[in-house]
Chain A
Amino acid sequence: MLFPGRQTAFEQAVGRYFGDLYRYAYWLCRNRWQAEDVVQESLTRAWRAWPGLREERAIKSWLFTIVHREHLRSASSAPRARADENVPEPAFDPDPARTMELEAALRELPEDSQNALLLQVLGGFSCAEIAGMLGASEGAVMTRLTRARQALRRRLGPAENEPGVRQA
């Protein structure tokens, strides 16, 4: 091992974000096997580029951006696999029917809206950060996020019982 410190730092960084990187890839690919391939290729690229990384603060967004680009690359070079019909279930689900309905609604979101929502919810990124990662304007990201939540709310939310709006 030539650079044990470097390898440890890489392992620690990956350990911090691995779960969310995998989930991000999973929802982009909508297929477990493709997601595993995307994450594998992304982290292989990340390790190769690791010595050149200058800003430690940017590691998280850098890793998510690599996963996004790797997904685009794999999607453009290989036919999209069928979406998993049976999504792996979380360990405990108080309302499985609701979760299934929500998963279906999430899958039906337009890709750009879904991507922005994934980065916000899974990655915890701000609109400005998401804009930088996706090469879009901040306004466009805000629109995508709003549309995503509107669509989910329309399908799942309490539309019948919408609280009143006061223009004060």
Chain B
Amino acid sequence: MNCLDLRRAAMLDPRRLDTEALAHVERCDACRDFLAQALELEAQIEHALRTPVPHGLEARVVRNALESPRFTRRHALAAGLALATAAGVALLWKRNDPLALAGIDFVVFEEAQAIADAKPADVKVLARVVREMGVSLPAQLGEIRYVGTCPFDGLTAHHVLVKTPLGKVTLLLIPSRPLASRAVASAHGFEAAVVPAAVGSVAIIASTPRSIARAETLLKSG
């Protein structure tokens, strides 16, 4: 081990150095100083992160958690049936398009997990897909906060999360899903529109119709 190796190890975790690193520190004054500074900074980091826990919070949180309704299989089945019935009624009543509704369900129930589970995506791949689909992701659309791929409605979608001036917008680019005409849905406080592209289609999910309209206009601006 040399000084550079030691310093790399100390920047990774100064409190968990192996015996080889510790032996080097014994022999090298400069690294001993470096490690002492790193450990001092580490202690300060730990001190700064140790935000005090509000008094009584633990007892309150645990009590609320224990008193929350537990979902047994029977409860889950009943809830599932009730949800399905409600969804069926809502579909008939509002004539939600199933694909657009699936987009909303994805945002409400799966998006966070998809982001948590995703591997880093290649932005170049997204750029190629966007080009091939004949749509555009102009800078005015907003700040792209996440890019990934995910399963959607039995297909693979390119998942893009955009922070726009009108709030968060989720885009699902589905090259293998052609669409004849624009489809919409509204549920769970979200709006969705699935619009045909030159190749495939794009689902746009946001919290307001205005946000959808803005994103749709910009997507077609290329």
Task: Spell out A's residues near B (CB within 8 Å).
Answer: 7, 10-11, 14-15, 18-19, 22-23, 26-27, 32, 36, 39-40, 43-44, 46-48, 68-69, 72-73, 76-77, 79, 87-91, 93, 95, 98-99, 102-103, 106, 117-118, 120-122, 126-127, 135-136, 140, 142, 145-146, 149-150, 152-153, 156-158, 162-168
User: Within 8 Å of chain A (Cβ to Cβ): is B140?
Assistant: no
Closest chain A residue to B71, Cβ basis = A48
B58 within 8 A of A: yes
User: Interface 1/0s, chain B 139-181, versus A by CB < 8 A?
Assistant: 0000000000000000000000100000110000000000000
- The CA-CA distance from A102 to B7 in the complex, in Å, is 21
Instruction: Report whether A156 and B41 are in contact in the complex, using a CB–CB cutoff of 8 Å.
Output: yes
Beyond the given A146-B12, A153-B11, could you list 18 further A-B residue pairs with CB under 8 A, ordered by the A residue number? A7-B66, A14-B62, A22-B51, A23-B49, A23-B53, A40-B65, A44-B64, A44-B65, A48-B68, A68-B116, A91-B52, A102-B44, A140-B120, A145-B11, A145-B12, A149-B11, A163-B29, A163-B30
Q: Is B48's CB within 8 Å of the partner chain A? A: yes
Residues of B within 8 A of A (CB): 2-4, 7-8, 11-13, 16, 28-31, 33-34, 37-38, 41-42, 44-54, 57-58, 61-62, 64-66, 68, 70-71, 107-108, 111-113, 115-120, 161, 167-168
CA distance A158 to B31 in the complex (A): 14
Contact between chains at A135 and B30 (CB < 8 Å)? no
| Bound-complex Cα distance A67 to B128 (A) | 35
Check if B30 sits within 8 Å of A23, measured CB to CB: no
A163 touches B34 (CB 8 A): yes
A135 touching B117, Cβ below 8 Å:
yes
Known contacts A69-B116, A76-B111, A157-B37; decide if A99 and B58 are in contact (CB<8 Å): no
Q: A99–B49 contact, CB under 8 A?
A: no
The answer to whether A76 touches B3 (Cβ under 8 A) is: no
Contact B13 A40 (CB under 8 A): no
Q: Label chain A's interface by main secondary structure.
A: helix
CB pair B45 A72 closer than 8 Å: no
**Chain B residues within 8 Å of A98, by CB:** 44
- Of B48, B57, B116, most A-chain CB atoms within 10 Å: B48
B7 closest partner in A (C-beta): A165
User: Are A72 and B61 interface neighbours, CB within 8 A?
Assistant: no
CB distance from A84 to the nearest CB of B (A): 10
A26 to chain B, nearest CB (A): 5
Across the two chains, which residue of chain B brings its CB closest to A22?
A: B53
Chain B residues within an 8 Å CB radius of A126: 16
Q: Which 5 A-B pairs have the closest CB atoms?
A: A73-B112, A163-B30, A163-B33, A43-B65, A165-B3
Contacting pair B115 A40 (CB below 8 A): no
Q: Residues of A contacting B2 with CB < 8 Å?
A: 166-168
* Inter-chain contact A158/B37, CB cutoff 8 Å: yes
Chain A min CB distance to B58 (Å): 5
Q: In the docked arrangement, what's the CA distance between A132 and B116, Å?
A: 11
The answer on a CB contact under 8 Å between A72 and B30 is no
Contact A103 B48 (CB under 8 A): yes
Nearest-Cβ distance from residue B193 to partner chain A, whole angstroms:
19
* Contact among B29, B46, B51 with A121 in the assembled complex (CB-CB below 8 Å): B46
